[in-house]
Amino acid sequence: MALNLDDAKSIYEFVVTEGNGIKGLVDSGLSKVPTVYVQPPNERIDKENAIKLELPPIDLSKLDGPGHHEVAEQIVRAAETVGFFQVVNHGVPLQLLESLKETAHKFFSLPLERKAVYLAPVSPSPLVKYGTSYLPEKEKALGWKDYILMQYTGDDEALRYWPEEIKGVLLEYVRSSIIMVKRLLGVLLENLGVKPDDSLIDVLTGRKTLAMIYYPTCPNPDVTIGIGRHSDIGMLTVLLQDEIGGLYVRIEEDMNYEKKAEWIEIPPIPDALVINVADMLQVLSNGKYRSAEHAVRNTNTNSRVSVPIFTMPLETTKIAPLSQVIQKDGIAHYKEFMFVDYMNNVYKNALDGKKSLHFAKIG
Ligand SMILES: O=C(O)CCC(=O)C(=O)O
Ligand SMILES: [Fe+2]
């Protein structure tokens, strides 16, 4: 069927079903945003209503020296307030970060056949999924992004199943990032009065999902969104963003952040990685650490790429506020549940800010 830009069904077929993605649509010579991509006004991010986060990045090399306490405090403070921070001297090779961004651009520029083999209905492996938008069949408007998602279940499986063009750099990225994630979690758990033992941290970060995301330039970015308002579901997310910008975090009243706007933009910092707190860390800490609501829009004339690693508990892990924290707080704000149940509950619905956490809340 030929693509008809005035027909929503034709666009859906071309973009979602055939797997051409938003990349294919933009490349077809789009001059204005089709209606299926126009977000309702309350889902758009008004750039005028956003401020830049001025916090300097946290230098993780100091964790090993006399500056340990100061750095640990910066990490804790960020997790308790905005739920987002940036790190430098993180141990992930800088050359690798450049290769990852380059590789992401190259992957999305591949011919359709190389990408469409990973569409959910036909993917040769449950570990790899290529697609567009977040949940096209459930969303009011489609998101202006394409992605490829990969589960990391071990080096051998990654080498066997992940796409040839990207697996080398991604494997190196997950190996080096996970060391950093474990250190950060150690600091955050210790601050809650929990002895950060390796086996606990291994279970809490046992599931690792990697993605490469592509947000092409948009003829009218004011009405579209790359990824809508959401919080991440796991423990900590590591995010490599490029120099384009467009990652926004919602400011909430109780964030201890001066509310001068609705959104904070997390500015690109060369060589830095963005870290954010996700839902399970909020639950374990009984609400002390915040999984922040965030969203992406690309207003740049160039395409944006990002490469996140979502660390999460193993599926069957029982999650509940840590006893050390409940003892201090005198009350649990979240019930106990199995992580896989939380995950399944989130993945069946379109994104809606922090509503995901309602599943776990008591009262
Ligand atoms: O692309 C980004 O900067 C963020 C992506 C994101 O928030 C997500 O995929 O959960
Ligand atoms: Fe996210």
* Among 252, 242, 168, 246, CA closest to 210: 168
Q: End-to-end alpha-carbon separation of the chain, Å?
A: 51
Q: 117-144 pLDDT, tens per residue?
A: 999 999 999 999 999 999 999 999 999 9
Percent of the chain with pLDDT over 70: 100
Percent of the chain with pLDDT over 90: 88
CA-nearest residue for atom 9, ligand 1, is 308
For residue 337, the cross-strand partners are 319
Where in the chain are the domains?
A: 8-359
Which tokens go with 91?
């141990």
pLDDT at 260: 75
Q: Does residue 132 contact residue 108 with C-beta atoms inside 8 Å?
A: no
CA-nearest residue for atom 10, ligand 1, is 232
What mean pLDDT, rounded, does the chain reach?
95
> Measured in angstroms, how far is the CA atom of residue 356 from the centroid of ligand 2?
13
156 confidence band (pLDDT: 50, 70, 90):
very high
Closest ligand to 308 CA?
Answer: 1
Q: CB under 6 Å to ligand 1: residues?
A: 213, 227, 232, 239, 241, 247, 294, 296, 306, 308
Q: What is the mean pLDDT of the segment spanning 146-158?
A: 97
Predicted model pTM? 0.97
89 confidence band (pLDDT: 50, 70, 90):
very high
CA 102, CA 145: separation in Å to the nearest integer? 17
Q: What is the CATH number of domain 8-359?
A: 2.60.120.330
Strands 247-250 and 294-296: antiparallel
Q: 215-272 pLDDT, tens per residue?
A: 999 999 999 999 999 999 999 999 999 999 999 999 887 777 777 778 999 999 999 9
